[in-house]
Structure 1
């Protein structure tokens, strides 16, 4: 069976979307990155504030995730001129492009929780 031009085009589009999803998941992989991004979409936060807000994350894991998010240009690390020196993290303009995604994920999570509760 020979594929039509439309079928070939659809497969190519599907393949490109799957590749793009894999790229996105690589950048946002893990349990914590989306939560960190969501927090920083509302306001800049210090390390200790993030550690408190993202419940369950260890200090070592938070440090690792922050470095990875900074490397991917999603957040900005700022050294504040205070005594003692403190560090603040904020979402970059590029990182703000994920705000809608975090809202959609949150909405889906709320709906999913309600759906699962129906059975109990």
Structure 2
């Protein structure tokens, strides 16, 4: 196997690992919500209006299992649970900025093309 082929295979493996953590419709929106500070379940759900409580719960568990977020229980009445980004989760900032920049560009291009066709 050539060096180029090996590099390609390595990059694809790394990409698959990364996508396993961030895949799906809801994980990145949850991470973006938490980039604005620690939040309780209901606060995250208000940020992401169309996510169901069941789906939010599942995705929070997956992000916690992958060490992207942490769940903290406070001994209060009633018990308070707060979610926050881990140090690993915070390293996603540059990637999120790039995705958001590309998304804004893509959105502008699509809307521009739609308006030209009308």
Same structural fold, with TM-score higher than 0.5 when normalized by the shorter chain: yes
The number of residue pairs the alignment matches comes to 114
Alignment of 1:39-78 (within 5 A): 39-78=33-72
Root mean square deviation, CA, Å: 1.2
Q: How far, CA to CA, are the matches of 2:43 and 2:95 in structure 1?
A: 23
Alignment gaps of 5+ in structure 1: none
Q: Which has the larger radius of gyration?
A: 1
Alignment of 1:22-37 (within 5 A): 22-37=16-31
Over residues 77-105 of structure 1, what are the superposed CA-to-partner deviations in whole Å (9 max), with x where a residue is unaligned?
Answer: 01123321111000001111111111111
From 86, 90, 105, give the equivalent of 1:92. Answer: 86
Alignment gaps of 5+ in structure 2: none
Q: How far, CA to CA, are the matches of 2:24 and 2:109 in structure 1?
A: 24
TM-score, length basis structure 2: 0.92
TM-score, length basis structure 1: 0.90
Instruction: Could you list the structure 1 runs, at least 4 aligned residues long, displaced by more than 2 angstroms after superposition.
Output: none
